[in-house]
């Protein structure tokens, strides 16, 4: 049984966007389930329709697809307090091309489509909350496109290193390479250049 404390940080996150009282929050959490995901375990696999949205309480998720060369290509990480889902599959109810996998042992809140729709109807403040969350996520995705277009792969690495130094410690190098869109070999070369 999930305890109150487990949800405290979720309440804080909601609180960043909308005002919410103790009572209503107690109602809201009933729409969610808590789930533990082992390292390397998949929350979503290619071919499935994504019907669930995940909120990371602790740990780290990644989203990737298999490109035509058969190589995993990571497109996204989700740390604590980030939402992770495959929106395209979720919205269009089409089979996804993505996997969502735990990089570390991870604890998430999950909410499926049915519960999500009920939640939004029953609690208008959550409509506002998700509007804010998606607007912010959209802004972040747009800035990411700007970064990709505006910099060489080498610069991307240095930017990323500067912006998320702690994260680089946390994730193995070949996953970082995959996320940056370079081969592990080239990332290794970039790193060599910058230490010498």
Partner DNA sequence: CGGATCGTTGATCAACTTCAACGGTCGTGG
Partner DNA sequence: CCACGACCGTTGAAGTTGATCAACGATCCG
Mask 69-108, x = binds its own copies (CB under 8 A)?
Answer: ----x-xx---------xxx-xx-----xx----------
Report the run of H or E that residue 107 belongs to, with start and end: strand 106-112
Using the rule CB under 7 A, is 188 a contact of DNA?
A: yes
CA angle 168, 176, 41 (to 5 degrees): 100
Q: Which residues of 114-146 are buried (b: 16+ CB within 10 A; e: fewer)?
A: ebbeebbeebebbeebbeebeeeeeeeeeeeee
Cα(75)–Cα(47) distance, integer angstroms: 17
Give the number of other CB atoms < 10 A from CB of residue 157: 21
Q: Which of residues 19 and 192 has its CB atom nearest to DNA in the complex?
A: 192
Mask 48-77, x = binds DNA (CB under 7 A)?
Answer: ---------------------x--------
Q: Is the dihedral of CA 73, 75, 80, 85 positive or negative?
A: negative
Q: Which of residues 84 and 176 has its CB atom nearest to DNA in the complex?
A: 176
Please give the residues from 118 up to 157 whose contact with DNA meets the rule CB under 7 A: 152-154
Of positions 56, 172, 179, 194, contacts DNA by CB under 7 A: 172
Cα(191)–Cα(183) distance, integer angstroms: 13
Question: How many residues sit in the footprint of DNA (CB under 7 A)?
Answer: 18
Mask 139-158, x = binds its own copies (CB under 8 A)?
Answer: xxxxxxxx-xxx--------
Mask 113-132, x = binds its own copies (CB under 8 A)?
Answer: -------x---x--xx-xx-
Using the rule CB under 7 A, is 19 a contact of DNA?
A: no
Using the rule CB under 7 A, is 194 a contact of DNA?
A: no
Question: How many residues sit in the footprint of its own copies (CB under 8 A)?
Answer: 36
Cβ proximity of 54 and 110 under 8 Å: yes
Using the rule CB under 7 A, is 174 a contact of DNA?
A: yes
Strand partners, 95: 49
Binding residues (CB under 7 A) for DNA: these are 69, 152-154, 172-174, 181-189, 191-192
């Amino acid at each position: 049984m999930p305890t109150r404390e487990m949800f405290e940080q979720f309440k804080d996150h909601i609180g960043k966007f909308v005002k919410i009282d103790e009572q209503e929050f107690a109602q809201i959490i009933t729409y969610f389930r808590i789930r533990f995901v082992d390292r390397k375990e998949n929350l979503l696999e290619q071919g499935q329709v994504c019907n669930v949205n995940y909120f990371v309480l602790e740990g780290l998720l990644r989203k990737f697809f298999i490109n035509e060369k058969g190589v995993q290509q990571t497109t996204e990480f989700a740390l604590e307090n980030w939402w992770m889902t495959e929106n395209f599959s979720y919205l269009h109810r089409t089979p996804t091309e993505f996997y969502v996998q735990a990089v570390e042992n991870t604890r998430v809140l999950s909410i499926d489509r049915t519960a999500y729709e009920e939640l939004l109807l029953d609690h208008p403040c959550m409509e506002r909350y998700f509007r804010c969350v998606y607007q912010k996520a959209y802004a972040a995705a747009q800035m990411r496109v700007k970064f990709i277009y505006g910099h060489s792969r080498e610069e991307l690495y240095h930017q990323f290193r500067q912006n998320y130094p702690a994260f680089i410690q946390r994730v193995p190098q070949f996953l970082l390479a995959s996320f940056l869109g370079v081969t592990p070999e080239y990332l290794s070369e970039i790193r060599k250049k910058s230490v010498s």
